[in-house]
Structure 1
Amino acid sequence: MKITTLVDNSRLDSRKDLAVERGLSLHIETANTQLLFDAGNGRTFCDNALLLDIHIAEVDLAVLSHRHHDHCNGIAHFVNVNHKAKVYMRECEDKDYYFQAYGFKTNVGLNKTILERNAHRMELIKNTTEIAPNVHLITHIERKYPQPAGNQYLYTHSKQGIERDTFDHELILVIEEVNGLVVFTGCAHSGVLNMIETVVNLFPKQKIKAVVGGFHLVGLPVFNSIGGTKHDIEAVARALAEYPIDRFYTGHCTGMKAYTILKGVLGDRLEHIPTGRCVNI
């Protein structure tokens, strides 16, 4: 499996030609399938794909990890370039999504007109589903561990009123290969440990060879603070280390301060995936 980061908050020092944005988009190439996992907030992932010799028109299917703009809004550009792939996301109640802290409030949800204009391309998944051979979307996520502290700033507004976001719009992508599973987290608002625990329980006899995506260990993104304390992040790292997983690849909402703390515990098992990074798993 080959994974290329089309969009992340940062980029490889050697690729100044690539644009960055606060968002995430990964191109995944398996033996049989090309996937887009998240699409960032705009057309940046498309522009970077051209520079990385990746052809978005040839992607077989797209998956959106959750309904925040920095993972979803770029899909408007995807459907203009790619005319064949279905776009998969989790079915949930119609809500608006907000970030709110210290008197500041902003909408962080996807642009709903994208769904309305492209309803024929969208596949809403309610239950865990194999959407292609060995490609699984998991909708029920365990709650064994606490959710990330950074979630405290995230709310929804629906007919029930204003509530803390429960992330009933989040899913996990799991791809099976002969030598193990690769787990894709998006932002892991449900908690990266909960996501791993979910996969372990659903695939009890299979090895997880890698976990890829954001871990949402950032607190306030504008300050790149950590969510919780250094002790909290170290506890997450120690729990991750207990799983027999070869590699963790992360960026975006993990935050570089939290990444440094994780690295101190996980060492070579943890790697950063900025824009332009390509890994073979």
Structure 2
Amino acid sequence: MIKVNLKITTLIENNPSINSKLHNEHGLSLYIEIDKTKILFDTGQSGDFIENAQLLKVDLSKLNYVLLSHGHYDHSGGFRKFVDKFKKPYKLILGKGFFNSKYKTTKEGNYKYIGNAFDEEFVNQNNIPIKYIEEDVAYITKDIMIFSNFEKYNDFESISKIFKIKQNDNYIPDNFHDEIVLGVKSDKGLIIILGCSHIGIVNILETIMERTNMPIYAVVGGTHLVGCDELRLNNTIKFLKEKHIKVLGLSHCTGENAMEEIKEQFGKKFVYNNTGNIIKI
């Protein structure tokens, strides 16, 4: 396996940076450089990641790809502002069903819209080519893969029942078929980059290892362990240990409780991937 130079800059995330000039918000946006390939992975909720990128000396005008991990506002909300500012060509990568009308149920029993602030027509009007990921594994270069259609491998991970899709006048459970995950081959193993892991991080990683027959070296991004019960957290930690994953750069929807437990269990393998953090592999 040829050595891959990979650098991940967290442009925005829930938690603030030590640099007080950087914005933070509930959301995620990563700038990923893989050799000569440049990818924007998610766009946060407001577009403030653009100002952060300038402060972090990240040039967003020369992207090869923009990948939106799923159709929730905190991952795609900044896309419209990004399109208005940057006109140079890139390919937009989305999962099938990305433009489904997504909601969540509130404590009061109401339905709150949490989907995208743009539609497919907006993308077409701005002449942005779209690649919808429908296959299990799609290659965008020989070393960069997109995964979708994740399998269920366990009983301790389940999609939260609060997430819904509106179809006509009905609200049905969201199975997150639109969720996609980035994978990068390296001489150390696979580097996996996640948006939110609604389907379950163990389900996602098991699916990827089954399909590629490769070990996972690093996991970066959101794991949706926020608010999870002790059984799910313990089983997730057990899985990550058994697979000998060497780098855990976790953030966003992982949740403070899970972050503290994983930090305690994994020590130097854990990276607190907050706003402004840089991971080099």
User: What residue is the counterpart of 2:16 in the other structure?
Assistant: 11
User: What residue is the counterpart of 1:175 in the other structure?
Assistant: 184
Higher mean alpha-carbon deviation, 119-128 vs 49-58, is at: 119-128
Q: Are 1:72 and 2:72 an aligned pair?
A: no
Q: Give TM-score, length-normalised by structure 1.
A: 0.90
What pairs up with 1:1-281 in 2 under 5 angstroms?
A: 1-12=6-17, 14-80=18-84, 81-92=86-97, 95-103=100-108, 104-113=110-119, 115-119=120-124, 120-121=127-128, 122-127=130-135, 128-146=137-155, 148=157, 151-159=160-168, 161-204=170-213, 206-218=214-226, 226-227=227-228, 229-281=229-281
Output the amino acid matched with 2:59: H
Provide Cα deviations, 1:190-243, integer angstroms capped at 9, x if missing partner.
111111111111111x3321011100111xxxxxxx22x234312211122111
Q: For the residues of structure 1 that align with 2:159 and 2:22, how far apart are their CA atoms?
A: 29
Equivalent pair of 2:159/2:200 in contact (CA under 8 Å): no
1:158: how far off? 1.3
Q: For the residues of structure 2 that align with 1:257 and 1:251, how far apart are their CA atoms?
A: 12
Equivalent pair of 1:9/1:274 in contact (CA under 8 Å): yes
Structure 2 vs 1, CA of residues 146 and 109 (structure 1 numbering), >3 Å: closer, same or farther?
farther
Q: For the residues of structure 2 that align with 1:279 and 1:237, how far apart are their CA atoms?
A: 21
1:82: how far off? 4.4
Equivalent pair of 1:56/1:82 in contact (CA under 8 Å): no
Q: For the residues of structure 1 that align with 2:95 and 2:56, how far apart are their CA atoms?
A: 29
Provide Cα deviations, 1:127-158, integer angstroms capped at 9, x if missing partner.
13112332111112121024756722211111
Higher mean alpha-carbon deviation, 72-81 vs 251-260, is at: 72-81
Q: For the residues of structure 2 that align with 1:3 and 1:57, how far apart are their CA atoms?
A: 17
Structure 2 vs 1, CA of residues 267 and 123 (structure 1 numbering), >3 Å: closer, same or farther?
same
| Structure 1 stretches lacking a partner, 5+ long | 219-225
1:244: how far off? 2.3
Equivalent pair of 1:97/1:107 in contact (CA under 8 Å): yes
Structure 2 vs 1, CA of residues 147 and 56 (structure 1 numbering), >3 Å: closer, same or farther?
farther
Q: For the residues of structure 2 that align with 1:89 and 1:190, how far apart are their CA atoms?
A: 17
Equivalent pair of 1:99/1:108 in contact (CA under 8 Å): yes
1:45: how far off? 0.9
Structure 2 vs 1, CA of residues 258 and 175 (structure 1 numbering), >3 Å: closer, same or farther?
same
Q: For the residues of structure 2 that align with 1:145 and 1:187, how far apart are their CA atoms?
A: 18
Q: For the residues of structure 2 that align with 1:82 and 1:144, how far apart are their CA atoms?
A: 42
Output the amino acid matched with 1:39: T
User: What residue is the counterpart of 1:223 in the other structure?
Assistant: none
1:183: how far off? 0.6
Output the amino acid matched with 1:278: I
1:161: how far off? 2.5
Number of residue pairs the alignment of both structures matches = 270
Output the amino acid matched with 1:105: Y
Provide Cα deviations, 1:21-72, integer angstroms capped at 9, x if missing partner.
1100000111121111111112111110000000000111111111101101
* Identical counterparts, % of pairs: 28
Q: For the residues of structure 2 that align with 1:20 and 1:112, how far apart are their CA atoms?
A: 22
RMSD, matched Cα = 1.8
| Structure 2 stretches lacking a partner, 5+ long | 1-5
Output the amino acid matched with 1:106: K
Provide Cα deviations, 1:64-88, integer angstroms capped at 9, x if missing partner.
1111011012122222314211110
Equivalent pair of 1:234/1:265 in contact (CA under 8 Å): no
